[in-house]
Amino acid sequence: MTGFSFNKKNVAILLLFFCGGIFGVMAGVFLALTQDLPQILSLKTFTPSSITRIYSADKVLLAELFVEKRDPVSLEVIPSYLIKALVATEDRNFYQHSGIDLKGIFRAIIKDIRAGEFVEGASTITQQLAKTLFLTPRKTLLRKIKEAFLAFQIERRYTKNEIIELYLNQIYFGSGAYGVESAAGIFFGKPVKDLGLGECALLASLPKAPSRYSPLVNKDLALKRRNIVLRQMKETGIITETAFNRAKEEPLHLAKQRHNLLKAPYFVNQVKKLLENTLGSSRLYKGGLTVVTTLDFKMQKAAELAVESGLSQLEKRMKRNGIKTPNPQCALVSLNVKTGGILAMIGGRNFSKSPFNRATDARRQPGSAFKPVVYAYAIEQGFSQNKTILDAPVVFKGGYRKKDWRPENFSKGYKGEMTLRMALALSENIPAVRLIEMLGASSVARFGHTLGIESNLNPNLSLALGTSEVTLINLIAAYSVFPNKGELIKPYGVMEVVDRRGRVVWRVKPQKKLVMSRAGASIITDMLYGVIQEGTGKKARVIKRPVAGKTGTTNNFKDALFIGFSPSIATGVWVGQDLFTTLGKGETGAKAALPIWIEFMGKTLLDKSIQYWDIPDTVITVPMNPSTGCRETGDSPHAVSALFKKGTEPRQSGCSKY
């Protein structure tokens, strides 16, 4: 066997194998360290998450949505003092190094060895950016090595200005503020471009320990840190001695904290649900969108005041009536008749205590507030408002195993023959039940769905008295058809959504549908105007504008409603208790709900020009006796002006109505 000789050739081969092995090990280590490093090139398309803002139609900020409160800005608008202060505090060699500071690393290693743990970070601004964007905050040797690799790659591909801009928009400043613009707003109530020297120094002091040094957490400690930064700026020649002394004496003026920024919370919550389904949660909360809604904030505030006043008075009455723990709730929705846009929304008395939206999600019996649906269908089927119907005791025979039904009027009295107009105005029950029997309960239920009511409507005679549960917003949408020439517009709350670059990403297209004749819509509007002038809604005459509507009260005074409208605005008010218990004897729609409606609509219409009802050419106005249905002379004290489809109006002679 021949032995291995150490000649030059063999030595060269051994060295080659040895170097190859060393290289392979080093390559393996390098790949192990970098195989899960992110692609640095992704920074070219990196967009930090930012705040989505929801505005009312009149440009009031209603809410801010974010995962991290962040408002990215370009480097050009950031004061030079802030940039220089940050570099002086965090990384004095930022503009000289290539991503890592070797002297700082060796100094930190010595301190870490002495302490027996990681106590000194020695991270450059570039390393901090790498850690913030791509790595976990956990302090390990492997993470520090990866951090250095990343920092080196970032420095190779990006300019110092690009790096510092990313850093300033990404870093956490404490108290929920991510990025300099957000921090300037939270701490000082101003944009970053308007910060002074002392304010810039304070912000520059925060990244070191944001939770500890935040001025909202410890004002005295924040001032001490600010002054240390100012001294560093003086020592490095960034500011003069005079500027240092002046800035050091500046008092700390913090912004007033907005603990309850969320306005119109029930409405905003509905908007959030819609946009989450439409755009996705990630885009909504991180995309920096601008959402423009239909809400009129002035009307919203008027609604909130009216609801609180009305419920406060009701609660006092309930206590006087012996109800020990009254907890009345209220819902209010106001719609733009012409567009379908939601102008105001209240879903309950206190959103923080009960976020359940009673305006959109609660299904309650509407009581007599459903009757206009029955009467509107009758008009569409050729009935005239002067048609008479008998108001007298009646028994409706039940079917198999069903008891006979004897409906009663709320007043317990009867008035004999009366016109449809008067029956609706006085909200008599028996004429409404007789009418739905003539029309067919199933047909009325279908018509209710046509008007926009989405809940189940039981096709029985009691439907005329509002025994089927509905949502308030659906009922108001149905009423809006009447002043809107017979056109249904599905209520909506968002007009458009714009991204951070000003591009429209979503815009509403109102869903419209003609659901009844223009003539029929104008006639039922006229009849509901009669409710205000001649019936249960007389209190609303205090509003010196054309308004129409209908009261609603359910058994044992569990629900009180008033749904009404002007030619341009439809508003509904519901009052009740969540446990379906009584509001107290006598708490009808006219007493518990109508005053809230009057206060809100009175204030709302006061600032608007007077508008009038739509009267198409196919109808005619005739003076009529509302009790008998007979035509009257224009100067008769018994006459009201009533609308009829041409050819169906009462004639001049005698009391013939056709």
d(CA 252, CA 360): 46
- b/e burial code for range 542-572 (CB count within 10 A of at least 16 → b): ebebbbbbbbbbbeebbbbbbbbbbbbbbbb
Which among 474, 375, 461 has a CA at the least distance from the CA of 426?
Answer: 375
Query: Contact 156/145 with Cβ under 8 angstroms?
Result: no
DSSP-assigned states of every residue in 466-496: T-S-B-HHHHHHHHHTTTTTTEEE--B-EEE
d(CA 266, CA 433): 36
Query: Contact 68/50 with Cβ under 8 angstroms?
Result: no
Query: Which among 368, 427, 566, 568 is annotated as catalytic?
Result: 368
**C-alpha torsion sign, points 573, 298, 264, 480:** positive
Q: Is 287 helix (H, G, I), strand (E, B) or coil?
A: strand
Inter-axis angle of helices 297-320 and 594-606, to 10 degrees?
A: 150
Inter-axis angle of helices 371-380 and 429-439, to 10 degrees?
A: 40
Query: Which among 49, 50, 56, 90 is annotated as catalytic?
Result: 90
Task: Provide the residue count of the chain.
Answer: 658
Backbone angles phi, psi at 560, to 5 degrees: -130, 130
Give Dmax over CA atoms of the chain in angstroms.
143
Which among 541, 548, 542, 543 has a CA at the least distance from the CA of 526?
Answer: 548
d(CA 146, CA 37): 7
DSSP 364: B
Residue 194 neighbours by CB distance under 10 Å: 12
Tokens of 439: 């029309």
d(CA 551, CA 112): 77
Instruction: Classify strands 548-553 and 290-293 as parallel, antiparallel or unpaired.
Output: unpaired
Query: Contact 138/100 with Cβ under 8 angstroms?
Result: no
Query: Contact 338/452 with Cβ under 8 angstroms?
Result: no
Which among 180, 154, 171 has a CA at the least distance from the CA of 76?
Answer: 180
- Chain-centroid distance of CA 158 in Å reads 40
Q: Is 65 helix (H, G, I), strand (E, B) or coil?
A: strand
Q: Is 525 helix (H, G, I), strand (E, B) or coil?
A: helix
d(CA 572, CA 470): 13
308 a catalytic residue: no
d(CA 315, CA 114): 70
DSSP-assigned states of every residue in 553-588: E-GGG-EEEEEEE-SSEEEEEEEE-TT-----TT--
Q: Is 620 helix (H, G, I), strand (E, B) or coil?
A: strand
Query: Contact 174/65 with Cβ under 8 angstroms?
Result: no
90 a catalytic residue: yes
Task: Work out the end-to-end distance of the chain between its first and last CA atoms, rounded to an integer number of angstroms.
Answer: 133
**C-alpha torsion sign, points 19, 20, 24, 25:** negative
Catalytic residues: 90, 368
